[in-house]
Amino acid sequence: MPLSAKTVKDRTIKMAEDITRQQIKDINSAVAYSIACDESKDKGDIEQIALFCRYVNSTGPQEEMIELIPLKGQTRGEDVCEAVLNCLRAKGINTTHLVSVATDGAPIPFVTGKLESTYSDLLLHNKVRWLSRGEVLKRFAACLEEVKTFLGSKGLTFPELEQPEWLEKLHFLVDMTAHLNTLNTALQGKGRTALHMLEEVLAFERKLTVLARDLQKGTLSHFPSLREFREAHMMNLEYLHSAVITMQTSFGKRFSEFREEKTTLSFPVTPLSLDPSLLNMTAFPGVSPPDLEMELADIADKEMWVSKFKRLTADLEDVSRQKAVLAQNHKWRDIENLPKPDKLVFETWNAIPDIYVNMKKYALGVLSIFGSTYVCEQVFSNMNFIKNKHRTRLTDDSFTILCEDEGDRIQPRCADAVR
């Protein structure tokens, strides 16, 4: 007997609610968890906040959407923060073991001040802005003559398109955003650890030194668009050199907290080569610093367990090499099939006996940290497909359910949902 549309809808909502209950139970029982949130407007011109949680349970690291929160009033930073906090409270998610927040520019100190946490400071307040603008600029510069012809046919004039100073900056931005896009791509994808993000950002900061030197010398080896423009124009490279130095300083400030926590973020991969006194202990409830030090001393000469961390390093190196080769050959689907770094780290720690309980808690807590807001960006892509001009009247609950990842590991307990 076919079910009515209303019955299907009601049971779908019940199954989604059952999944949410299972999620909350897992989050509250985890050693630590982190959240990532970002906002974007849907087709109905409503600001939607994607709220994700990352934690580690018995099967490994999990990244799951908690809620798609609509903001139908003001959309100031404090409104976003208040909405996120209200959502956590309404769902009964405990904030005492929240260790990190990844955002796309929201005023995180405001969030920190309102969290009813035993610990006054989160481990990291990570602000990430996606920088994928290079392709647009590159194509605009390549079609500049055609653009001017088109504008002329419409009776439109833009003096900037004839000014060498303005065009010089345009070609500079074409090259710089191409370098930024390379970094952006390296930060994307599931299974990346916060340590991976830090290493990519630090590497890019070093590359900025190379780019600044390239401009200072005037060789322009890393600025192909600018180099081609210089063939027919005089340029002020000193100004562009100072712009790169300013960018380098900005990167240093934006990711300063990550840099300070490199020892902490490295712990899950290389725990035996670190000085435990340099670890950030304030954000991890249930970890005893004195006991952690004793456990590190105890395990240091146990070859059976030491060999597992050596194997982990070798496995991560192998995955990195395979990824580089596949990327060179543009085999992106094959890259997705490679072992996930965070899963390899988890499997190593899962094999360590529970007598090293403080080490395991600390490692899994660090592993729960989001490296970026990439998962939020993915949701926004799905959101704009689901809520389109032909379907703009979805309820908030239905919209959230449809935007959730179809590959969610948690399955609804259907027997309970259909009662």
SS3 353: coil
Q: Which residue did the predictor score with more confidence, 406 or 147?
A: 147
Q: What is the CA radius of gyration of the chain?
A: 25
Q: What is the pLDDT of residue 119?
A: 36
329 to 22, 200, 323, 394: CA distances (angstroms): 41, 21, 10, 42
Instruction: Kindly state the average pLDDT of the residues 85-94.
Output: 90
Q: Looking at beta carbons, which pairs linking 139-142 to residues 24 or more positions away fall under 8 Å?
A: 140/170, 141/170, 141/171, 141/174, 141/225
Provide the pLDDT confidence category of residue 411 given band limits of 50, 70 and 90. Answer: low
The candidate with the shortest Cα–Cα distance to 99, out of 381, 383, 365, is 365
Is pLDDT above 50 for 160? Answer: yes
What is the structure's pLDDT at 269? Answer: 95
Whether pLDDT at 204 is above 60: yes
pLDDT given for residue 13 in this prediction: 72
Give the pLDDT of residue 16.
74
Residue 110 pLDDT > 50, yes or no? Answer: no
Weakest mean pLDDT among 114-118, 146-150, 287-291: 114-118
Listed range (103-117, 178-192, 195-209, 389-403) with the worst mean pLDDT: 103-117
pLDDT for residue 116 is more than 50:
no
Q: Which string of DSSP letters, residue by residue, matches 140-182?
A: HHHTHHHHHHHHHHTT---GGGG-HHHHHHHHHHHHHHHHHHH
d(CA 169, CA 181) in angstroms, rounded, equals: 18
pLDDT in tens, 214-253: 999 999 999 999 999 998 888 889 999 999 999 999 888 8
Could you give the angle at the alpha carbon of 352 between the alpha carbons of 346 and 355, nearest 5°? 130
**pLDDT above 70 coverage of the chain, percent:** 80
Average pLDDT, the chain: 81
pLDDT at 322 over 90: yes
Least-confidence region, from 26-30, 334-338, 395-399:
395-399
Confidence of residue 125 (pLDDT cuts 50, 70, 90): very low
Average pLDDT over residues 5-28: 78
Does 90 have pLDDT greater than 70?
A: yes
| Res 130 pLDDT > 60 | no
Average pLDDT score over residue span 377-384: 69
Q: In the structure, what pLDDT confidence band is assigned to residue 121 with cuts at 50, 70 and 90?
A: very low
Asked whether the beta carbons of 86 and 37 are under 8 A apart, the reply is: no
Q: How far apart are CA 297 and CA 389, in angstroms?
A: 62
Look at residue 108 and tell me whether its pLDDT is greater than 50. no
